[in-house]
Structure 1
Amino acid sequence: MTNMDKLYASVAANGPVCVGLDTEFSYLPADVVDYTKTAGENVVEFNRRIIEATKASAGCYKVQIAYYESLGLDGMRAYAETLKMVRATGLPVIADIKRGDIAKTAEMYAKAHFTGDFEADIITLAPYMGLDSISPYLPYCKEQGKGLFVLCRTSNPGAKDFEYKKLEDGRHVYDLVGDSLSELGKDYIGESGYSSIGLVIGGTHTEEATAIRAAYPQTFFLIPGYGAQGGKAADIAQYMNNSNGGVVNSSRGILLAYKKQPGVAFDEAAYNECVRMKEDIQGECNKL
């Protein structure tokens, strides 16, 4: 099985929620901070409790490296420990690193994030520099079953600046990216019928949802934009494929759920929000 196959199986068992462990130190409730420990150590403990509370209702986890890099070496130790904690649950972990470079540099990024202290199951990449910025990661997909989520059509407002520009043949830039990666991914199809090369498809611009899903039937989607960024379950369901084929990320919505549930412990609140989100999305998927 590839890691994308494992993600498919996890979504089938637990639902499509991707818990984003984009943990800023300021997110921690004041009453749980241990001031005898470093910021990174406190973040690890917070993440541990989030993982324990949500692992039965999450399809996977995503760890955004920038939140840990901002804490220096202390943060990078917390990043490595967080990845290990998720992998110990058996659930897939996505390292949100968005690397995009060529040749030997990309080889080193691949080694850094598919082996050693920062090993993850799936990583995110930026394709702007071309397919030779993707190819150094492919041996890990072929030999170890690792997975990629490549930025295609993102959820941020700035997606309109470049991704939506029209080409001479009438396609958008995001169509070119999706078509190119889908073609490349045909050599990496797993048991689930999905490629090890997935796409990041934002859930906030939904006008093209049906067309995008139909265009890439063998491509798994990482879908940001739910909740805080304005994506609705009814819209996001359009990107799923029979309630699978995609994971829907929520970071602040889950990590800070305790702020909307007065008197509830942060980990219990995270569980409640994870379950609510899961039922919201699956309910809309069931209507299709």
Structure 2
Amino acid sequence: MIIDRLYESVAEKGVVCVGLDTSFDYIPDKIKKKFSTISDTIFEFNKRIIDATYDIVACFKIQIAYYEALGIEGLIAYKKTIQYAKDKKCLVIADIKRGDISKTAEMYAKSHFEGDFETDFITLNPYMGMDSIKPYLNYVREKEKGLFILIRTSNEGAHDIQYIKDSNNKPVYKIVGDKIKNIASEYIGEHGYSSIGGVVGCTHSDEAKSIRDNLDNMFFLIPGYGAQGGKSEDVARYLKQGNGGIVNSSRGILLAYKKHNDDNKFDIYAREEVLSMREAINNAVKAYKG
């Protein structure tokens, strides 16, 4: 199953997931001047980041909004980036956060698990209901694909809905997590995790242990590290023996070169940032006594 490949990638290369959320203004002027199209410019930047980090990261996550915002040129870069990472034998998560039902969801599944934009995992928003997940399950079952479904997110607005409590004093995010866990239990791989995982932000670490204990068979995509305030100690609470999750960082890696005021070596500084992040998380995992 696809989740076994991700588990083994973490075991071999660590928990870091590079977020290729490539805003055009992140790209050094020298690259912009070298290429005549937006698609070639973005792809060159992404390609160099991938080349510099693919041997030390578990996977890459590509947030589609950064590419959609640039129209056809952006989507060409999106397609080429997915393909290049896969050519490097890397796993790719398309961060699309779709959340619709019926035929619309079927078309979303087809568009991201087949054809030009085919990827290994996608992110979904379940807050329209569990029937918004069903159209994707055939791909998980038959096509070696995986899902990361939003459970408890890293933004401040998570409290607006996800923390509302029912009559039993149970917050919405726990109810959603339980429902997803039930679905996930049908797709368990050799390493004990499901190909249906959960998105849990590491910026609310006080609930981390209970989430990890309750969703024991779910692999986590963990955003919020670095620029959003999440720390390595927070991450450690969501992992099990240093596995069972991947930790995404986008701006912190893509813009690492700005701390050195040297855009000629943006890819080298991205690699250094990944290594530093990986070491910090590994140390936190070793120190964690939970």
| 1:131-169 CA distance string (max 9 Å, x none) | 110000000000012100001100000000000111112
3-state DSSP class of the match of 1:220? strand
Distance 2:193 2:89 in 1: 20
Deviates most, 153-162 or 264-273: 264-273
* Aligned residue runs from structure 1 range 262-273, under 5 A: 262-263=261-262, 265-273=265-273
- Counterparts of 1:49-64 in structure 2 under 5 Å? 49-64=48-63
C-alpha distance in 2, partners of 1:279/1:36? 36
Percent sequence identity is 54
SS of alignment partner, residue 208 of structure 1: helix
Distance 1:256 1:139, change over 3 A: same
TM-score of the two chains, using structure 1 as the length reference: 0.98
Query: Which residue in 1 is equivalent to 2:46?
Result: 47
How far apart are 1:38 and its partner, in Å? 1.1
SS of equivalent residue, structure 1 residue 207: helix
Specify every segment of 5 or more residues in structure 1 that has no aligned partner in the other structure, as ranges: none
- Is residue 134 from structure 1 mapped to residue 129 from structure 2 by the alignment? no
Aligned residue for 2:107? 108
Tell me, yes or no, if the aligned pair for 2:200 and 2:222 is still in contact at 8 Å: yes
8 Å contact kept, 2:35–2:41? no
CA–CA separation in structure 2 for the residues paired with 1:275 and 1:32: 25
Matched with 1:230 is: 229
Query: Matched residues in 1 for 2:90 and 2:192: separation?
Result: 19
2:216 counterpart letter in structure 1: P
The one-letter amino acid paired with 2:269 is A
Indicate conservation of the 8 Å contact 2:64/2:95, yes or no. Answer: yes
Q: Would the aligned equivalents of 1:3 and 1:92 in 2 still touch at CA under 8 Å?
A: no
Kept in 1: contact 2:236–2:285 (CA 8 A): yes
Residue matched to 2:79: 80
Runs of 5+ unmatched residues, structure 2? none
- Write the distance in 1 (CA, Å) between the matches of 2:35 and 2:133: 43
CA RMSD of aligned residues (A): 0.9
Separation in structure 1 between the aligned mates of residue 85 and residue 31 of structure 2, nearest angstrom: 21
Cα displacement (A) at 1:32: 2.3
Q: Which residue of 2 aligns with 1:161?
A: 160
- The equivalent residue for 1:191 is 190
Moved beyond 4 Å, runs of 4+: none
Output the TM-score relative to the length of structure 2.
Answer: 0.97
Q: How many residues align?
A: 287
The CA distance in 2 between the partners of 1:100 and 1:247, in whole Å, is 22
